[in-house]
């Protein structure tokens, strides 16, 4: 598998014995930017691919593939060299997906007497 290429599984279709998987193949280009194509891999190994599209930024790719799926695919890539190639994108996606913990403001409490509650 190419270290500059990540396969993101988008879904599967078909019956139990004849499943077809659909992948988004994202390749990091050497001169900047990313290429994107959809690949449908059948149960018998037959593959059908769409035309390759080019994107200049990672944010533009998010209309095709969700950031969570892309992050998971890069993290689970079997090649260690690939994680080094995609290190910058991993840090960006990690920062994008982590939500800052919201601190709840303590509401001030007020003691009341029974005489104030009952008219």
> What SS3 class is residue 21?
strand
Note whether residue 108 is domain-resident: no
Q: Give me the number of domains the chain comprises.
A: 1
pLDDT of residue 16: 74
pLDDT digits (tens, 9 = 90+) for 45-89: 889 999 999 999 999 999 999 999 999 999 988 888 888 899 999
**111 domain-assigned:** no
Q: Are 54 and 37 in contact (CB under 8 A)?
A: no
Indicate whether 116 belongs to any domain. no
Average pLDDT over residues 38-46: 89
* Stronger pLDDT, 98 or 8, i.e. the higher one: 8
Element (H, E) at 60: helix 58-61
Query: Does 34 score more than 90 pLDDT?
Result: yes
Of the candidate ranges 9-13, 21-25, 100-104, 107-111, the one whose mean pLDDT is the lowest: 100-104
Q: Give me the domain span that covers residue 87.
A: 5-96
Local structure of residue 118 (DSSP, 8 states) = -
Could you tell me what percent of the chain has a pLDDT over 70?
96
The β-bridge partners of 96 are: none
pTM as predicted:
0.74
Instruction: Please report whether residue 28 resides in a domain.
Output: yes
**Phi then psi dihedrals of residue 79, to 5 deg:** -95, 125
Q: Rounded distance, CA 26 to CA 21, Å?
A: 16
The answer to whether position 52 is within a domain reads: yes
Judge whether 112 lies within some domain: no
pLDDT greater than 70 at residue 20? yes
The whole-number average pLDDT for the span 7-17 is: 84
Cα distance between residue 71 and residue 41, in whole Å: 22
């Amino acid at each position: 598998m190419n270290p500059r290429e990540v396969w993101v599984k988008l879904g599967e279709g078909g019956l139990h014995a004849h499943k077809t998987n659909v992948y988004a193949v994202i390749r990091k280009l050497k001169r900047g930017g990313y290429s994107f194509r959809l690949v449908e891999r059948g149960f018998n190994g037959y593959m059908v691919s769409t035309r390759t599209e080019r994107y200049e930024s990672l944010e533009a790719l998010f209309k095709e593939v969700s950031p969570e799926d892309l992050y998971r695919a890069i993290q689970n890539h079997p090649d260690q060299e690939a994680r080094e190639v995609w290190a910058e994108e991993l840090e960006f996606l990690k920062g994008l997906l982590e939500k800052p913990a919201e601190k709840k403001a303590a509401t001030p409490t007020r003691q009341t007497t029974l005489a104030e509650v009952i008219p």
